Each structure stands twice: as C-alpha cells, then as structure tokens.
Structure 1
Amino acid sequence: MEMNHRVKKSKAIVKGRVVLMKKGLLDFHDIKANVLDRVHELLGKGVSIHLISATTPDPAKGLRGKHGKVAHLERWVSTVSSLTKATDTEFSVTFDWDHEDMGVPGAFIIRNHHHSQFYLKTVTIEDIPGHGPVHFVCDSWVYPAHRYTKDRVFFANKAYLPCETPEPLRKFREEELVVLRGKGYGKLNEWDRVYDYGYYNDLGTPDDGPHFARPVLGGSKFPYPRRGRTGRPHTKTDPKTESRLHLLNLNVYVPRDEQFGHVKFSDFLAYSLKSVAQVLLPEMKSICDKTINEFDTIEDVLDIYEGSIRLPSGPIASKLRELIPYELFRELVRNDGERFLKFPVPDVIKESKTAWRTDEEFGREMLAGVNPVIIRRLQEFPPASKLDPRDYGDQTSSIRASHIENSLDGLIIDEAIQKMRLFILDHHDALMPYISRINSTNTKTYASRTLLFLQDDGTLKPLAIELSLPHPQGEQHEAVSKVFTPAQEGVAASVWQLAKAYAAVNDSGYHQLVSHWLYTHAVIEPFIIATHRQLSILHPIHKLLKPHFRDTMHINALARHTLINAGGVLEKTVFPGKFAMEMSSVIYKSWVFTEQALPADLLKRGMAVPDSSCPHGLRLVIEDYPFAVDGLEIWEAIEIWVTEYCDFYYTSNDMVEEDPELQNWWKELRNEGHGDLKDRPWWPEMKTRDRPWWPEMKTREDLIQSCTIIIWIASAFHAAVNFGQYPYAGYLPNRPTVSRRFMPEPGTPEYEELKQNPELAFLKTITAQFQTLLGVSLIEVLSRHSTEEVYLGQRDSSEWTLDAEPLAAFERFSKRLVEIENNIMERNKDKKLKNRNGPVKMPYTLLFPNTSDYSREGGLTGKGIPNSVSI
C-alpha cells in the first residue's frame, strides 16, 4: 500500500496549451480538407504528442530521452475556428508525466493523423513540478504523419551549444539536421523540409527557342551565389537547364516554413495582379500600340497617378475584358470606373512636380536616394579604369580639366582632390563589356561616369557626365566618349537633362540588378540554406539569425519564376534586358563578404577616413550623408547587440573554434553556398587585396563580425535600397530604366525635335509607356510593407529564448533603436542639413527603424527596417 501510495504521489497530470492554425475549409481551394479532418477525428485519428525528457535518458533507446505517454489534442472538432480565414486556435492537452522519474521535458514528437496540414505555433507546458513552465516556439507546418520518413521533433526554447546539449537530446538534435539536409537528389515536394543548393539554372526556357535560353549562373564561367534546390527535371533542349513551372503556377518549391504567411501571400497576390500583365504581354502591348505607346507630355505621365490612362473604348475595351480575368480587371480599373492602372503619387513629386529635375536633387539622391551605396570619392584625375587594356584598350576617362576647372569654387583639381571635394558615380567598368550586346537590342544606352563637387553647404553639384560607347572597330580599342556639362538655357539645357537621364538609366539598372537583387536577395540565400543544414534550431547562432531569414527564400523563388527569368518583368523593364543576370554574375566576382560591413564599405569608397577620435573609428567625408549617418547608428546598435549575445554563449575564442556545428556552417558557406568565391582570389584584378575575403571563424570577433554583417545586409541595407523604390522611382522620369535612342546629334531631325519640343524628345528617349506601366506596377509591389511585417528590434514571440541575459540585451537593442528613430527625426528637421530633404522636400526615412510608432498597416510608408529580405 505504501509503495502504491508513493507511485500515485509521484504521478502528475500536467496541463498544456497548443496554439496552431488549422487549414481552413476554403484554403488552397481544398474543400475536402476540413470534412476529412472531422472524419479522422471521430475515428480517433487526431493529433498526438509525446514529450521527451531532457534530463533522463532511456538506455533502451540508446540514451535518448525517455518518452512520456501519448497525449492528444482535445476537442479538435468542437473548437471553433474560421473556415475561410487563417486564424490561431488554442487547444488543451493533458500529459501523464512522472516528473520524479522523467525529469524535465526538452522536446516532443508530434504526429498529425488528419488529412491536411496545420501550422503549429507554440506548445506550452504550464507547470513541471520543481521547474515551472516549459515553452516550445515551433512556427512550423506539420503535414500528415505519412508524409514524413522521420517523426517531427520540436525542442524547448533553451539554446545549447553542441557540447552543452543534454545527452538525452543529442541524437534528436543530430538527426533533425540530417533530415533538413535531404538526400541531395530528386524532386522536392511541398511537405519536404529539405534545404539544399542549386545553380541558377532555371531562368531560361530553351525548349521555347534559343531566344529564351539563358546561361547557367554558378560555376567558374558565371560565378553566382547558390539558390535553394527544387529538383525539377531538366529541359529537353539543354540538360543543364532546369524546367520551369507554368507562369500562373506559383508553387515553386521552397521548404514549407520558408513560404509567406497567409495574410502576406494574400497581400502579395492582390498587389501583384497588375504585374502579371506580362502573362498577357502580346495582347497588352497590342492594345497600347493601338492607342499610344508613347507619352507625349509630362502631363500624360502624371495622369497615371492623378487621373490615370482611360481604358480604350469600343472593340479594344471588349478585347481587354476578354483577355483579363474579372478579378484582375477589377484591380486594374481600381475604383475609378473606367480608369486603367491608377497608381499612388510617388513622394518625389508630391510637393513639387519639377524639383526632381534640379541638379541639386540629382546629386542629393546619390546620398539619400534609393541607391546611395555607389558614389565614391574621386582620388585620381582623370578617372581611371580597371578593365583589362588587352581586351578593352585604354578606358581612362576623357573628362579633362577644362570641363570642370571653372566650377570648383576657385580650387584647382589637385586641391579639390586633396581637400576631398570631388566625387564620382561610376558605372563605366561594370557596363562597358556589355554595352555592344545591350545596344544590339531596342535599347540604346551608354556607360556613364558622373563627376560631382562638394559645395560649402554640404550639397553635391554635378560637374560633368561622360557617356561612352565601345569603339566601332572593336571593344579592344579605347572607348568613344562624349562629355556633357551643366547648362541652364536653350538646347544645351535640354541636352544636359538628357545626359542626366542616361546616367540615371545606368544607376537605375545597376541598382536593381546589383545593389538590390545581387547584394541582398541573392547573397543572403546561401546563409539561410547553410544555417538550416548545419546549425541546429537549438544553436544560439541559429536563434540569433533566424528572424533575419524570414520569407527570403520564397520571394527569391517567386523572383526567379516571374521577375528575373527569360522574358520576365525585369528583362522587359530594365535596360540590360536579356543580359541582365549574366551581367550581375560578372559583378559578383568582386563581392567580398567582409567589405559588406558598413564601416568597411564607406572606407573602401573613400566616403570616410579612419579617425580614432570619431564614433565608429571613422570620419565621414560628407558630414550630411543621410544613408551613412543613419546607417552607422543602426550598424553600431546591431554590432553591440550581437556582441552581447555572442559573448554570453562563447566565453573564449577556443569555444568558437571547437564548436563543430559552427565550423561546419562556416565551411559550407564558403565551399558550397558561395563556393565560386572559395578559392579567393582567382581572378587577376583581385590578387592584391589587403582585406580577408572571409573571416576565418576562429575567434569571437570573427563570429561577431560575421553575424553583424549578415543582419545588416538582411535588414538595414536591404531596407535602404528597397523601400525607396516607389517613392523615388515610381515616377519614371526621375529614375528611367531604359533609354531607347542615343543623344541627338546637331543637324539631325532628333536634334531639331529636342530644340522645338524638349519634353517630347526626353519622353521618346526614356522608358516607353508600356514599360513604364509594367515597371511602376512592379516597384509598387516591391516597395510595400506587409501588414505582417516584423521590424528590426522586434520578434514574433517574446519567448524566443529561455536565457535571461540575451533577452535583456535584446531589450536594450530595441530601446536603442527607438533613440535612433528620434535622432533621425531631429536631423530631418535640421534645415542646415540640406541633403535630408532636398528640393523635393522628401525627408530621409529609409533607415527609420519604425519601432516606437509601430503599426501593422503596412503599405507604401517609405520607412521601416524589416528584419529580413522579405519582399
């Protein structure tokens, strides 16, 4: 009796709460799902959970943690949840858990016996005697059990280095990583949880003809970061090219947990309806051709915002309605009756319709616009080229002292260089190798160099723009260049306006392909893949980085599907056209991970100089450089947060070097994810680098630097080059993406037109009407914040870790970001800082963290730093 009493006393009924999101009745159009789930529940096939001890091993299971008795979610059928919306539902669960024998649970196995999947958010054990509650932050889709070869295992929210992992959990930790790595071959299905590497070999459709073939990006010829493998079969024409899904099929494989949430995907689809006009490209272009595919006046351009283009009447309107599904037609028309493609007014023309044309605004946007990361200080004159003269001849700039010496406020050129007053926006070397091929299409453009002078009031004054073409006798000869200087009156002013447009075209294309796509979206994806393959969810560095990977693989997969593919929106709207992605591959060759740190980038571009007396150990050459000023504060906040976090888990350098998961992660990143850069440097021009390509990952400083760079790229850097797209480039005359004819020569009809009607000549040169509509549709989507956005300094769950010191450090990080917001607002009010607002009266808010005045409204806010490359 006494023994039975003791057994009964040690037994405990432990209550738990499970929060999940059911698959709704109408979700994914699967009407059978909810009905079959009810049938399975009535037959006793529900959702079962086995708790696993973190403290008590089971010798019969190879020292794995002891399993508790099976428990089931209660009242699945009777628990009310929306049939049409994705909403959280809470369930109760009761565990029979002998805490004296079993200890503390550290993991659980869940089996889903329903017909359909559900999204498991959290599991909370309310109280383990002598321990307290245990939290499991899951955030994962759980498919029916028969879809898995291994049970789904989730771990409690305690972080462990591999060497510190409780023995009962060690095997579960190791096996979970094996599952996530997959087999390395075969087609992947939506329920697979495999993270693996692939080349960018899915951009072309060679089976549709040679015009739609594209080179494979990745490998020695066209080096590129790796993307997530999908395992689709190859095309018939080219065994190296992976086949593509139909354009309307958006089910491109990425691990299910990497896909957008329901609300975000709905938002994304709703605002993408206009962009899928490319599906109807021949018909839509025909419609534009039958009306006008040309803007005749600036007022015509403004009409797409303030009045929009009227739908054509008669048979053309009927044809449009036949071609476009009702939902798309309704979105195109909006609420304006028969108005077609009405867009919000971009910020750059809200206060003034003409301020964008000024030289001051042209220069300011290089410091505070959508691409403020290219401008550099000029340290030699004339500007030199790094192109191999054996292939391209002498590409030294043709800008001479006579072009600029009268505009340097009394300085001679050597003095201006010494006083750090000369700057350059240089797209010459990046574009010159491709200009001949690009201009063999309908595009007619140049490789540009733009020189600017730093005035006493802190603003930049354009001095000269050089437009260059390859020599007609071959690229191996020096460039043929023309230099244009500012003018305010007559045809010279119109020529200068066109010269600025050609430079803006270069900058716009480079921004989309390199600053935005390559340097954020593409370079981050290998980090996501390697993290899931090599760092357990229990690893503290996985927990640190996970928020900064949200939605990236999915938006990248959708980009490959509809935007950067052969004939996609990017090729249709940005000047390099079919050569765009190949060109970005050439630029990737010179990408250096350590130089993505903001201080290193500023020093490399000469926009800062070392100065130990200044914050961050450097002094900005242009004090009023909004991207750099705000960015350095954000950078420092991230660096302090990462330092405090890493120092908590790694108390010595030896711990970093002896962490097997961490070392495997870093090795795989270098050898696989960014494998084309592993043998650094393997191209001649990079052999003299004095900075390491990659940290060695032997010290805490290596770890802190690497994690800070990853978070910076994924959050603040991406925000700076993405969310200003619509505010600045939504008005295409300000940021044209294409030039369709060369600079008019005196004595030609085009030159006469420029003299007589400069506005029309300008519009005939830049992006055409159809491309404008398509391009503005795209950047409107890309510039929107989701209503589900999670911003820097925020987490989905306050219980993301059990460790108190990292939680306290994160709270300090969040508070510091609020202070930075206030600093930015104060700087934006300072009238002495002319680059903060400029002639367009548009305050610089792209690095505004958006935490103190946080709302979930989303939209075209032009501010806010999401945690990740999420759009």
Structure 2
Amino acid sequence: MRVSGHDPTKSWKLPHDEKFKGDYKWDIIKTKGSLLLTTSLINLASKDKWESLEDLKTVYKFSLEEPKCVQYWTDDKWFGLQRVQGANPVLITLCTEIPSKFGVEPEMVKPFLEGLTLEKALLQKRLFIVDLKILKDVACKDARMLTAPIALFFLNDRKELMPIAIQLFQDKGPDNPVFLPSDPEYTWLLAKIFYNNADATYHQSCTHLGFTHLLMEGVVVCTHRNLSPSHPLFKLMAPHFLYLLAINARGLEKLISENGWVDTTMTVGRCGMFQLIKRGLKQWHVDVNGIIPNDFRARNVDDPAILPNYPYRDDSTAIYKAVRNYVTRVLQFYYDKPEKVINDVELQNWREELVLSRNEGGIGLVGVPGENEKFTMVEQVIDMVTVIIAICSIGHAAANFLQYEEYGFPPNYPGIVYSEVPKDKGPHTLEDVLKTLPDKETSLDIMVITKLLSRLGTKPLGDFEVKYLYHPVCLKAAEKFCAELKDISTRIQVRNESAEFPYPWLDPKIVPNSISI
C-alpha cells in the first residue's frame, strides 16, 4: 500500500520474502466468518435497529466478551480518559487561549472550573483542547454528516481530565452551539457521541492507517530499493518490517475495497478516509510527530506536573528512549566517524528517496534529519531509524490493539453515526441516542472485525523472529535493549495493579516488533 500513486485496494504479487510464513498465514474473510460462527451471533445479521442498550448488550452473552467501557461509557471522566489512554491519545494539547472560532464564554464554563475563572484556569495551565479542524469538509459516504469538533477539558483538583465544552463544527453560530455538561443529559451525551465519531474517524484514517500502515509501507519499499540486505541499516530495521507488506496487501484489500468494511462501518467511507490521510500526511513531520518526545513538547503536554495521568505519554516515551538507546549502540559502532555517514552511497540514496515528493515517486517525508540534503552525522541517522522502529512498534500498538475495547461497544466510540447532528441544546432522549447507532448487522461487523484486528501479532519488541545482526557489539546492544524493556514492563505492570483504569497496551510484553495485523 504505497503512500504515493498506488491504489491501496488493488492487490499485487508480493515477493516471496514478504509473504506470511507458516501458521501466521490467515485470510481475514475466513477468520471473520469463523468468529461469527463461534459467537453464535449469525442470527443478528439484520438491518433492524437496536431497541435498547440492553438489547445491544445481549451480544456479549455469547463468545464476544463485554468491553470494559460498557460499565462507564457515559461518564465524563471516561470521556476525558479517552484523550490520554484511548485509541487516539495523540491530540490533546495544552490550551493557552480560547480560539476566536470557539464560542466559549467565561460565565458559560465557570460552574465547571472549581472556583477558578476562565482566565485563571488558563494561567494555571489547567485547560486542554482538541481541535479536529482537519476534518472540516471531508467527503463522506452516502451524504453522511461528519463533524469537525473542538473540545475543551479541565484538569480538576483530583487530577482528572474532564470535558467542559464541545462545539461540533468549526464556525460558531446559532445552529452550532457550545454543548456543556449542564445541558440535558442526553443532549450532552449526543454531543460526546458525535465528537467521538469524529475522533474515531481521525484515529482510523490517520493515527492508525495513514501514519503506521501506509507511511511505513513506503519506507519498507524505499529500504528494499536502496539498501542491500548486507547493509547494517537493513539488518537493523528488517525485523520491524516483518509481514507489513503482507498485511497491507491481504487485510486492507478486504477492508478498504469499494463497499467493503470501511464504506459500511465508517462515516467517511473509503474515499473520505483517503482524502483525510492525504491531509494528514501533509502535516506529519518526522522531527515533530515521529520523534515521540518532540510530539509531546509540541503539544505542551510533556510535563507530568502539567498533565499527570497520561499513560500513553509515559509508556511511549520510555519505550522510545529504549529503542533509541539500542539504535545508538548499533549505529555508533558502524558509523564511528562522520565520513562513514557522508560517504555511504546506499544510505544517502535511501534518504534521498525518503524525502523525494510523492508526485515524483518518493515517500515525501518532511522533517527528515540532515544538512544540505544529506545525512552528515550519525545522530541524524539514529533519529531517523528510531522513528521508523518506533512507528512499527509503539505507534501501531497504541493505535491498534485496543480497537475492540473502544469500538466493540458502538456507543462508546462510534465509527459511524446515523441521526442528524444536534443543532440546538434542546432536550433529547435515549431513543435519540439509539437512533445514532448502526443497525445490528453493521454493529456486529464492527465488533467482529475490531476483535480480529485487536489480536496480537508478531513476537514482543526485542524478541526478533528473524535476526540479522550477529556482531558481538550488536548482540550486546540487543541484550541491553531487552533488559531496558523488561524494566519498563515491570513499572507498567506495577502501575496498572493499582490503577482504576489500567493502560496495558504499551507494556513491552505485548508491543510487537512490526505491523503484522
């Protein structure tokens, strides 16, 4: 699935080395059918709407276990937690001023600021924001409506991130009100549902598909084109490319084909998804978004004193540093002098294609380290390789493996909604909420596919299926890498033992080496 001109829904013949091996070879459609049969849910494949939430919950009496969010999906506290440990924890940003397009007034939110004024809450760095402006005017399948919301969050005295205002479209006006926790119960709930539909759209399009599967496919192809199998960079990165082309060729052909899973279970459908990915890739920079600590700094949420209880940040940063330490030990051995970097023709050709525009057949990466269109020092190569390995492991794991926990109960994190977007703050009912949900057949399709996609893939990070580096220096580097990951895993497990809402998804024990599912 090349990020340049190739149509990602068209299959091609994979090289033998890129195909699934042995018992890892599976067919997504057959697996889905098998899962449907074993759940005894095939009788739910109808266009009937859910009559009640209890009707929906009957699904979990079979083999599909109940996602934990069923217990608390309506809670504001949970809605805030989704921003820091949900499927899309990459957008929350410190709010330093209220944007002029956001119709929030001081008196409007004063009841939710625990005695602070809006101005003081801003000065004390207690307010956070997510602005999904990238979604504005994205084309949707079958004239569906996608919001482009802005949401404001307050860090309360208990260090909980609580939503205090949601505006569903970018331009404020009488038919685009700011929804508040004090609004009628189901009116506020609908605002959160439509917000989460927008967030889920960004998650599946950019955070998951665009910034891991597609971006790294281009890198894999570029690596094969420019680095020989004997090159140390190839040997270092190859374990993290395992099965990526295979899963893209097989799985995504089935899921993103015309009238396939994305068209039927996501508001935007496949065309809108690719439009959004194209927008997202224009904004994605290696030196900001790819370098994990830089991304948190850019959003001013890197300091735990400002935003505590952000496990995605803490875990991803720790693993990123371990990856960088590993890459550093290996590459400083091979490139012990700057001249070895500068004069490495394969390395420089690889960088040249990484930055070459997609219109010219390159990968089109922005922010690749270097000077004068070259790598000039080993630290630049270390940064680039670390970013690639981190995306294939940390980035994909965080975006992929809790999909069932988020999407498996459709009201919690809906990929698709059906009713009209609320344009006023009048009272709504539970029936209005049920009308937003997909029918039984579509709901079941969402549950089964996200359950399938949430299955763990290759071996844990550092436990390589195939090894290419056997020099004692490299073996020692890998040994230290595994030791660092073990320490991180222990810390995460200890934290999760006492956490009300555990976040295990970046425990190195379950973070795979590669994007293989």
Asked if structure 2 preserves the Cα contact closer than 8 Å seen for 1:501 and 1:736, the reply is yes
State which of 819, 829, 832 in structure 1 corresponds to 2:497. Answer: 829
Asked if structure 2 preserves the Cα contact closer than 8 Å seen for 1:274 and 1:777, the reply is no
Corresponding residue number in structure 2 for 1:698? 376
Corresponding residue number in structure 2 for 1:484? 179
| Residues 1:460 and 2:161 aligned together | yes
Asked if structure 2 preserves the Cα contact closer than 8 Å seen for 1:571 and 1:580, the reply is no
| Residues 1:725 and 2:393 aligned together | no
State which of 8, 21, 35 in structure 2 corresponds to 1:261. Answer: 21
Corresponding residue number in structure 2 for 1:499? 191
Q: CA deviation at 1:767?
A: 2.7
State which of 743, 766, 790 in structure 1 corresponds to 2:437. Answer: 766
State which of 291, 298, 302 in structure 2 corresponds to 1:597. Answer: 291
| Residues 1:819 and 2:487 aligned together | yes
Which one-letter code corresponds to 1:792 in the other structure? L
| Residues 1:870 and 2:488 aligned together | no
| Residues 1:664 and 2:358 aligned together | no
Uncovered stretches (5+) of structure 1, i.e. residues with no partner: 1-194, 204-243, 246-251, 278-283, 308-341, 385-395, 472-477, 610-618, 682-691, 831-835, 851-863
Corresponding residue number in structure 1 for 2:333? 648
Asked if structure 1 preserves the Cα contact closer than 8 Å seen for 2:398 and 2:505, the reply is yes
Asked if structure 2 preserves the Cα contact closer than 8 Å seen for 1:528 and 1:549, the reply is yes
Corresponding residue number in structure 2 for 1:36? none
Distance between the aligned counterparts of 1:629 and 1:663, measured in 2?
34
Distance between the aligned counterparts of 1:415 and 1:552, measured in 2?
48
Distance between the aligned counterparts of 1:824 and 1:702, measured in 2?
30
| Residues 1:634 and 2:303 aligned together | no
Corresponding residue number in structure 1 for 2:6? 200
Which one-letter code corresponds to 1:418 in the other structure? L
Tell me how many residue pairs correspond in the alignment: 508
| Residues 1:536 and 2:228 aligned together | yes
Q: CA deviation at 1:566?
A: 2.3
State which of 143, 148, 153 in structure 2 corresponds to 1:447. Answer: 148
State which of 379, 386, 390 in structure 1 corresponds to 2:96. Answer: 379
Corresponding residue number in structure 1 for 2:32? 272
Q: CA deviation at 1:677?
A: 8.4
Corresponding residue number in structure 1 for 2:108? 403
Cα gap change, 1:196 to 1:537, in 2 (>3 Å): farther
Asked if structure 1 preserves the Cα contact closer than 8 Å seen for 2:5 and 2:358, the reply is no
TM-score by length of 2: 0.91
Comparing 440-449 with 566-575, greater Cα deviation is found at 440-449
Asked if structure 2 preserves the Cα contact closer than 8 Å seen for 1:723 and 1:782, the reply is yes
Which structure has more relative contact order (CA 8 Å, sep 6+)? It is 2
Cα gap change, 1:470 to 1:558, in 2 (>3 Å): farther
The CA deviation string for residues 732-786 of structure 1, in whole angstroms up to 9 with x for no partner, is 1111112212245779xxx78x3xxx33221111333222111112211110114
Q: CA deviation at 1:589?
A: 1.1
Which one-letter code corresponds to 1:867 in the other structure? N
State which of 321, 345, 350 in structure 1 corresponds to 2:66. Answer: 345
Distance between the aligned counterparts of 2:279 and 2:30, measured in 1?
35
| Residues 1:582 and 2:267 aligned together | no
| Residues 1:796 and 2:500 aligned together | no
Asked if structure 1 preserves the Cα contact closer than 8 Å seen for 2:323 and 2:386, the reply is yes
Distance between the aligned counterparts of 2:281 and 2:87, measured in 1?
20
Asked if structure 1 preserves the Cα contact closer than 8 Å seen for 2:368 and 2:384, the reply is no
SS in 2 for 1:780: helix
Q: CA deviation at 1:470?
A: 7.1
Q: CA deviation at 1:405?
A: 2.4
Structure 1 segments of 4+ aligned residues over 4 angstroms from their partners: 195-198, 267-270, 274-277, 284-287, 672-681, 743-747
Corresponding residue number in structure 2 for 1:299? 54
Distance between the aligned counterparts of 1:411 and 1:601, measured in 2?
29
Asked if structure 2 preserves the Cα contact closer than 8 Å seen for 1:445 and 1:740, the reply is no
Distance between the aligned counterparts of 1:680 and 1:524, measured in 2?
11
Cα gap change, 1:479 to 1:640, in 2 (>3 Å): farther
Cα gap change, 1:606 to 1:745, in 2 (>3 Å): closer
Distance between the aligned counterparts of 1:485 and 1:600, measured in 2?
32
Q: CA deviation at 1:445?
A: 3.8
Q: CA deviation at 1:451?
A: 0.5
SS in 2 for 1:447: coil
Which one-letter code corresponds to 2:461 in the other structure? L
Q: CA deviation at 1:521?
A: 0.6
- In terms of fraction of residues, the more helix-rich structure is 2
Corresponding residue number in structure 2 for 1:288? 46
Which one-letter code corresponds to 2:419 in the other structure? R
Asked if structure 1 preserves the Cα contact closer than 8 Å seen for 2:240 and 2:392, the reply is yes
Corresponding residue number in structure 1 for 2:210? 518
Q: CA deviation at 1:498?
A: 0.8
Distance between the aligned counterparts of 1:552 and 1:570, measured in 2?
20
Give the number of the structure whose alpha-carbon radius of gyration is greater: 1
Asked if structure 2 preserves the Cα contact closer than 8 Å seen for 1:464 and 1:486, the reply is yes
Alignment of 1:306-321 (within 5 A): 306-307=61-62
Asked if structure 1 preserves the Cα contact closer than 8 Å seen for 2:218 and 2:363, the reply is no
Distance between the aligned counterparts of 1:647 and 1:298, measured in 2?
58
Corresponding residue number in structure 2 for 1:847? 506
State which of 546, 553, 568 in structure 1 corresponds to 2:260. Answer: 568
Asked if structure 1 preserves the Cα contact closer than 8 Å seen for 2:73 and 2:412, the reply is yes
Alignment of 1:114-153 (within 5 A): none
SS in 1 for 2:163: strand
Q: CA deviation at 1:717?
A: 1.4
Corresponding residue number in structure 1 for 2:134? 430
Asked if structure 1 preserves the Cα contact closer than 8 Å seen for 2:212 and 2:392, the reply is yes
Asked if structure 2 preserves the Cα contact closer than 8 Å seen for 1:501 and 1:766, the reply is no
Asked if structure 2 preserves the Cα contact closer than 8 Å seen for 1:275 and 1:774, the reply is no
Q: CA deviation at 1:818?
A: 0.8
SS in 2 for 1:585: helix
The CA deviation string for residues 141-164 of structure 1, in whole angstroms up to 9 with x for no partner, is xxxxxxxxxxxxxxxxxxxxxxxx
Cα gap change, 1:448 to 1:379, in 2 (>3 Å): same
SS in 2 for 1:461: strand
Cα gap change, 1:398 to 1:274, in 2 (>3 Å): farther
The CA deviation string for residues 244-303 of structure 1, in whole angstroms up to 9 with x for no partner, is 56xxxxxx42222112123122375652336999xxxxxx999724xx2x0011111111
The CA deviation string for residues 416-461 of structure 1, in whole angstroms up to 9 with x for no partner, is 222211111221x111122xx43x8352342211100011222101
Distance between the aligned counterparts of 1:511 and 1:376, measured in 2?
16
Distance between the aligned counterparts of 2:388 and 2:452, measured in 1?
25
Asked if structure 1 preserves the Cα contact closer than 8 Å seen for 2:354 and 2:363, the reply is no
- In terms of fraction of residues, the more strand-rich structure is 1
Distance between the aligned counterparts of 2:150 and 2:503, measured in 1?
25
Asked if structure 2 preserves the Cα contact closer than 8 Å seen for 1:451 and 1:462, the reply is yes
Distance between the aligned counterparts of 1:761 and 1:657, measured in 2?
63
SS in 1 for 2:128: strand
SS in 1 for 2:356: helix
| Residues 1:806 and 2:474 aligned together | yes
The CA deviation string for residues 621-678 of structure 1, in whole angstroms up to 9 with x for no partner, is 3122100111111111111111111111110122111111111111122216696888
Distance between the aligned counterparts of 1:603 and 1:202, measured in 2?
33
Which one-letter code corresponds to 1:794 in the other structure? D
Q: CA deviation at 1:721?
A: 0.9
Asked if structure 2 preserves the Cα contact closer than 8 Å seen for 1:404 and 1:464, the reply is yes
The CA deviation string for residues 48-97 of structure 1, in whole angstroms up to 9 with x for no partner, is xxxxxxxxxxxxxxxxxxxxxxxxxxxxxxxxxxxxxxxxxxxxxxxxxx
Q: CA deviation at 1:870?
A: 0.9
TM-score by length of 1: 0.55
Cα gap change, 1:470 to 1:774, in 2 (>3 Å): farther
